[in-house]
Structure formats: structure tokens, C-alpha cells
Structure 1
Amino acid sequence: MPKTCARKQLGFQLTEVSVKNRELYAQLHRSNPGYGTSSSYMMDIILPLAADAQPKTILDYGCGKSSLIDDVATLLKSEAHRYDPSIPEYCSNPQGKFDLVLNTDVLEHVPETELDLVLKDIRAKSAKVIFHIPTLYATALLPDGSNAHCTVKPSPWWLDKLSEYFPYVDVLRSATNDQQFYITWQLSQKGRQDLKKVYRQRRRANSLAKRKHILRLLRMKLFKGYVSKQQLRDDIAGKRIAVVGNARSLSEKQYGAEIDAHDLVIRLNRGAIPHTSSHGQKLSWVATSMSVPKSFVYSKQIQRVIWTPANRSFSLPQWLVKQTDIVYLLKKTELKRYLNRTTRKTSTGFVLLCLLEELGGYGQIDVYGFDFFATATNTNHIDLDKAHQDHNYELEKKFLVKWMARDPRVALKL
């Protein structure tokens, strides 16, 4: 079996950008056996959508190593076809028409300059397509240091782009704000009813899991504590610490090697890394107010998770509840103290800086990627004006400036 595909097998002319990306993704697939296998978790939503299309033939366009197409085709008694230019055995682009195309977690991997080429090819294969598109950066990095998601756009942008090629595009409700489903035909009434059943089942399952989760969390709090503040002090004693924020302006810098040279690197929320040249890749701690996936923490070998929304501690991800050896739950009294320093909600970055100041004992703290929302963030697609309404970034900036004036060991890297 060839390691790579010949250009003529792809069905359309590749640019040099596409050739490079194709090779990088092929390397990632070879080096990470689990990469490209996760789309089956969407089976409960995709199955009723696919059934509504009543397909005799289904093409999984960008199939990776997932079994999704096999499962769907078996249940619907359809003929399955696979295509993925980065997988040697599936790299020959099938020609002709298909009753349905699945395109899950694919388009965000396509360079923006190549999207029209790919969408035109998909449209030529079927009028009925199920798209699933993540809208934030991935945790996976390509061998050249770039993020595995190279086209990171908000949902409305994707809707406009898909609408250039499909006369009808429906946006479906998503379980989280970092991904979105789109379909290119009008669901039948039965299809919508079946989809509503799936949503109801998910809500019931989540509700039951949350009740169990709350009881488990209460037991853990009563009988076994989480990481203590003294443990954090011991962790940072005399250490050179890099705090890496998510401001998009950091992507314009070349701080990667400098960041990774620190003893501890603390990133915020999901620790988005657009490229290692600007952001580095070392990750010791993560301070977050949003759910982080288990695979992210374990794959990065994170030593500490600083859970910042202490007033919403029951939202701690279920799998993290038992990880008492790595989780620090920010106390309500701490959060109240930090809140008193500003007039609005505290940002995750501000809470972390306040905590580090209180801990003391550090050797050096260098702060990167903090422009206090002068530019957008890599964590989400929130509007700049909305962000400034929710948070008082001027006061948060003043806190850091005063801290630096008092302590020469603290520096803001712009």
C-alpha cells in the first residue's frame, strides 16, 4: 500500500498548500493511532439525519479511521464508500453521485484558500450532505507545529460559506458552542421528530449524570480534599513561570521557544495553540472555567487543573471529580476577594493572576497573550464589545501593572 496518494487520485488539482497539508495530516495519522477515530460519538444525531435522506449509497468524505460510515451504512442497509486523502487505503477520490455525503470534522482542516475547491467537489457528489464543523482550535498539533484546525471560524461564517454551494442549509442545534451541525436538505416532519427524541434522550442522560455527579462531588469534598493552596505554593516555589493567555495578538509574535524554556507553563481554558512558534507547546497547569476533555488533560500530562468558577463547582467535569491529586478548586472566599478588585465578572486570566500573587514564592512570572481584549480571543468567538461589557479589562490591566510595579519578578510580554 503506498504511503501517500498520487495527485491524480484526488479528483481535482491540488495547490502546493494542499500538498503540504495532506502530507502533514498523513504523518499525524501514522504517528497517532487514535487520531481520526472519534466521529462515532455523534452516531445518535447522525443516524436519524441519514435515515431521513433514505440513501442507497453513502460517501464519508474525509472519513479518517472512524467506523462511523460502516455503522450508519449497516443500520440503513446502504452501500458505504470512504474517501480521505491522508489515508492511503482511502485516498482515491470516488467519482459519480451519492445519495448522501457525510462530512464530519473535516472542513476545519482545510486551508481557507482551498475550501471552495473542496466544497465544489462535495457538491458535485451529492445535494444531501451532513456537515459537522468544530469552530475552535484543536488540541492536536501537526508535525510542523501548526494547529490541526487551520480554518477556525464562527458558525455564521460557515453558514454563509456552505450557502454559496447549497441552495438550502439548515443549522441544527449543537450540544456545545464549539461545534455545529449543518444539513443541506429540508428534514421531513418525521426526521425532526426523531431528532427531537435524540435531544430529549441526551437531556435525560445528562440530568441523571449530573445528579450522580453532584452526590459524588459532595462525597469527595466531605471525605477527601482536593489540592491545597500549600501544595500550589510548593509547586511554584522558586520557579520561572509562563502564563499564556489566549489573545490572538500573540500569534503575531515568536515567543514559542521562550515560553517553553520556563519551569512551569500555565495556559487558560483549553490552552489553544495556533502554532508552536508563537505559543510554544509545553503545558504544566491549566486554569479553566470551562469543561476540558479528559483526553486533553492526559495527553498533555497536565500536573494541575485550577478550576476557577468556585461558585459553580458542580459544573466541574464529571471525570475530574475523582482527580483529587491534580485539581485545585478555587474557594468562594477567594473568588469574592478577586471580584472586589473589579466591577464586573472576573476573567479566567485575572483570577489566575490574583491567585499567583497570593501564593507568592515564585522565581519569575512572565505573562504572554494578555492584551485585555484589544484583540479577540482564541477561546471563543465572542464579540469584542460584548467581552468588554461582561468584564472590566481596564481594571484587570491596572491590577497587573501595579503588581509589576511592586514586584520586578513579574513581566508582561507584549
Structure 2
Amino acid sequence: MSRLDFMAARLMRNDGRIARMSIPQGNLLADLDSRHVALIGNARSLAQASHGPAIDAADLVVRINRAPMPASASHGSRTDWLALATRLPDADRARLDPDRILWMSPKRKRLDWRTASGAGFYLHPQTDYEALRGRLSAPPTTGAMMIDLLLRGPLASLTLYGFDFFASLSLSGRRTAADVPHDFSAEGAWVDDLLHSDSRLTLVR
């Protein structure tokens, strides 16, 4: 698809045309086969820990949005996949240098050409977003969407770092829980249920 065609599809909210630029979800999940995956959230509390070496030791490191990384000792240094729900400034794109970008937001108007035309681009289906929204009774965070997506794949393990469900707020900004549309209590309870039902999942507190 040309850039002009992409811009027209985005303007007309033609999700089907934009989705042609995406790797199929089945192919994306197949890439997880037998891999140990680290999903890094943006909780401020992670900056006080020393999980960097464990994060970098994972087979696949997935980060979220602008993915602030105050120090390699706490956050590690690799970014293999980047899950986005916001536009990514050029400086952050260069800093993170992900192998693959996954566009998780249902707001396609935020999706830029550089992201959509990149190698390995993935567009998360609107139906998957709506299903998780219904389960949580609130718009899901990018982190929740990634947990839901990754656990569908044949991965060996999924370890969550930097997830405290906004108890320590976010390294990405100064917003409080009242300033965002998510239900962090519901997400925490949902993850707790997953921890009991799926032995592949670990939450590093």
C-alpha cells in the first residue's frame, strides 16, 4: 500500500485496508513458540528494583508505548517488540530501536505511516480490543492487551515486570488514576485470576 492509500484508508476509517499491512495474528503468535517472554510495564516502582539482567536474559523483551528506561540495572536494555497506543517520537524510536511494532490502540487516526510500513508491523484487531474491554468493563491498558495477546501464543513463559496497576503511578507521565479511563483494580483482579489459571504467567512484584 502506498503512503497516499494509507492516509486515505486512515481518514475513511477503513480498518480492512489498513489491516492488509499487518502480519496475521497467527503468524505473530507462532513467533512465540517455546520462548520465554518478558513484558515490561511502566510502573515507577520498577526503577527501584534490579531486574535488568533478568529482563535482558529473556528470549523476547516486549515494552510498552514510550517505554522509559531510567537505568539498565532496573529495566534492562533490549527492546524486541514495542506495543504502541500512542505516536512515538523519533527520539524514542531511535532509542528503543524495536524489531517489531504492534499497534494496539483502536484509535487508528494516531497510527503513522512510518509505523504501519515498518517491518513486521502488527495491527491489533478491533474485535479483540472490544472483547477485553467487555471483560474488564473499562478500556484496557496497552499492558493488559499485550498480556491477553501473548498468552494466546505457544510461549514457554510470560514474566511481567513493572506492573503494579498504577499503585506507584507511571514513569510515562504525571497522571493519576483519576486522569485515565482504565480500571486498574479490575485489571489487577483479572491478572490475579490468570496467575492461578495459567502456569506460564509470573508477576514480579
Distance 1:367 1:254 in 2: 14
Shift of 1:326: 2.0
Sequence identity (%) = 25
**Cα 1:223–1:391 shift into 2, 3 Å:** closer
Contact 1:245 1:268 in 2 (8 A): yes
Distance 1:378 1:396 in 2: 19
Q: Which residue number in structure 2 is paired with residue 234 of structure 1?
A: 30
Structure 2 counterpart of 1:341, which letter? Answer: R
Distance 2:123 2:194 in 1: 24
Count of aligned residue pairs for this structure pair: 200
Structure 2 residue matching 1:236: 3-state secondary structure: coil
Deviations 1:263-318 (A, max 9, x none): 100011011101111001111111110001355445544122111112x1132023
Distance 1:220 1:393 in 2: 31
Pair 1:252 & 2:44 matched: no
Q: Which residue number in structure 2 is paired with residue 336 of structure 1?
A: 130
**Cα 1:299–1:253 shift into 2, 3 Å:** closer
Q: Which residue number in structure 2 is paired with residue 392 of structure 1?
A: 183
Runs of 5+ consecutive residues of structure 1 not aligned to the other structure = 1-209
Distance 2:64 2:197 in 1: 24
Distance 1:340 1:224 in 2: 26
Contact 1:313 1:329 in 2 (8 A): no
Task: Name which structure has the greater RCO, CA cutoff 8 Å, separation 6+.
Answer: 2
Give the TM-score, by structure 2 length. 0.88
Q: Which residue number in structure 2 is paired with residue 402 of structure 1?
A: 193
Contact 2:159 2:203 in 1 (8 A): yes
Structure 2 counterpart of 1:251, which letter? Answer: A
**Cα 1:223–1:343 shift into 2, 3 Å:** closer
Contact 1:294 1:319 in 2 (8 A): no
Q: Which residue number in structure 2 is paired with residue 373 of structure 1?
A: 166
- How large is the RMSD of aligned CA atoms in angstroms? 2.4
Shift of 1:223: 9.2
Contact 2:80 2:100 in 1 (8 A): yes
Distance 1:220 1:304 in 2: 21
Structure 1 counterpart of 2:114, which letter? Answer: W
1:58-207 aligned within 5 A: none
Give the TM-score, by structure 1 length. 0.45
Q: Which residue number in structure 1 is paired with residue 88 of structure 2?
A: 292
Runs of 5+ consecutive residues of structure 2 not aligned to the other structure = none
Aligned residue among 95, 109, 122 for 1:314: 109
Structure 2 counterpart of 1:237, which letter? Answer: D
Larger radius of gyration: 1
Structure 2 counterpart of 1:384, which letter? Answer: A
